[in-house]
Structures are given as structure tokens and as C-alpha cells.
Amino acid sequence: MRRTWLIAMALLPMLAACSSDHPTGDLSAGAALITKLGCGACHGIPGIVDAAGLVGPPLDHIASRQFIAGVLRNTPDNMVQWLRFPQRVVPGNAMPDLGISEADARQLTAYLETLK
């Protein structure tokens, strides 16, 4: 019984890391993807060289905003969905579907979560 309890306690931090309320990507990989995907052509993005686009909204303070695209509650999981499928979320909006994978969307989300 004591051994089972100790194992359960040891697993708790790993389970907490799986929570959908926390980004699970790498910040530097996210920044590199932002550059690779050309996000700065449409958005102003703090910390990204030459990211000064004026087509989409500036992404400074994106992590502090209540909603994504005016319709999704701003959570890491919802940001992943928005990045992967913006045309499904808000059909006809200016953000194109870029074919971003789940893993890449998590990396991007990790970076965006730093922009408070």
C-alpha cells in the first residue's frame, strides 16, 4: 500500500504537466517556426525579427487577451485549434489554413503564451 502511494505521488508532477491549461512546446522552436512560416508578414510579433505585418492584429499581449479571433476562449488548446484550422473556426477570415501540425501548433502556442 505504501509503495503504491509513493508511486502515485511520484507521478503527480507528470500528470500536472499534461494539463491543457499549460503550453507544452519549446519557446525557441516556436520562435523559429514563426519565422519559417512567415507569420510576421501579417502580424507584428514581439521578439521576432522583421515581424511587423499590418494585415492581421499585432500579437503583443496575445496571452493576456480573453478571446482568440473574438470567438474562442484564450486557452492553449484553443490556440492550437486556431493555428491549425483558422478557416474552420471563423470561415472567411483573413488567416489562411497553413497545414500546421499539432506538434508545431504547440510550439507556436508556447511562444505566444510568453506574450503577456
Q: What is the pLDDT of residues 26-60, one digit of tens each?
A: 788 999 999 999 999 999 999 999 999 999 999 99
Residues 30, 103: contact at Cβ < 8 Å?
no
pTM for this model (two decimals): 0.78
Residues 51, 45: contact at Cβ < 8 Å?
yes
Quote the DSSP letter at residue 71: T
- Cβ neighbors of 82 (< 8 A, separation 6 or more) are 68, 69, 72, 89
Q: What is the pLDDT of residues 60-104, one digit of tens each?
A: 999 999 999 999 999 999 999 999 999 999 999 999 999 999 999
What is the model's pLDDT at position 24? 64
What is the model's pLDDT at position 61? 96
